[in-house]
Amino acid sequence: MWLFIAFLMVPLIEIALFIQIGGLIGLWPTLAIVVATAILGTWLVRAQGRLAMNDLRRSFSTLDDPSEPLAHGAMILISGALLLTPGFFTDAVGFALLAPPVRRAVFRYVAARVQVSRFEMGAAAGPDPSRVDPRSGHGRPQSPPPQRPRSGDTVIDGEYTEVPPTKPSSQKGPSGWTKS
């Protein structure tokens, strides 16, 4: 229901703002503002996206909880779509989402309403209470990540299940899976 209301209200708000602002400053300055915000927004989205990717890489390399950098990246992506959409309301929301304090506030708001039932990284069996991240409440792995093999080593990682031998079939001839 909320999505329907948003799809109904956003275009109405945009049309009303276009009429009001176009009446105050004229057609060409209004169009110039729309084009300028799209160009500026694209530049800011690229810069903020690079920072978010660096934060995500850092969280992966240190085995921290990647949910906040992922959420920031998603919000930057949404802000880019909003900034490329012509309109003053969508531009305002898009520019707001590019501000890190706004993204952090949105993340805290959403994180307070989402319950994570299980979160696991690396080869850890479970979180060590002494190594719980105070920001997210998630545990960090108990053991360090596995060492990479040296250049001369050959490592084949796999799982297996031992299958007990079966009794020979009393049936002679082709199996039931083939045509004779």
Flag whether pLDDT at 98 surpasses 70: yes
User: What percent of the chain is predicted at pLDDT more than 90?
Assistant: 49
Q: Which pLDDT score, from 0 to 100, does residue 125 have?
A: 47
| 41 contacts: CB under 8 Å, gap ≥ 6 | 79, 80, 83, 84, 91, 94, 95, 98
The pLDDT of 89-118, averaged and rounded, is 90
pLDDT tier at 4, thresholds 50, 70, 90:
very high
Give the separation between CA 112 and CA 39, rounded to whole angstroms: 34
The pLDDT of 26-35, averaged and rounded, is 92
Task: Decide which of 158 and 40 is more confident.
Answer: 40
Name the region of 50 (left: φ>0; alpha: ψ -120 to 50; beta: rest).
alpha
Tokens 């993204």 belong to: 103
DSSP lists the bridge partners of residue 41 as none
pLDDT tier at 12, thresholds 50, 70, 90:
very high
Flag whether pLDDT at 30 surpasses 60: yes
DSSP at 129 = G
- What is the Cβ-side half-sphere exposure of residue 85, based on CA atoms within 13 angstroms? 19
Q: Which of 126, 45, 127, 139 is nearest to 83 (CA)?
A: 45
Cβ-based burial of 97 (10 A; exposed 0-12, middle 13-18, buried ≥19): buried
The pair of structure tokens assigned to 72 is: 């920031």
pLDDT tier at 158, thresholds 50, 70, 90:
confident
Mean pLDDT, the chain, whole residue set: 81
Among 3-7, 42-46, 126-130, whose mean pLDDT is lowest?
126-130
Q: Which of 116, 81, 110, 119 is nearest to 98 (CA)?
A: 81
The pLDDT of 118-140, averaged and rounded, is 56
DSSP lists the bridge partners of residue 132 as 139
Global model pTM greater than 0.75: no
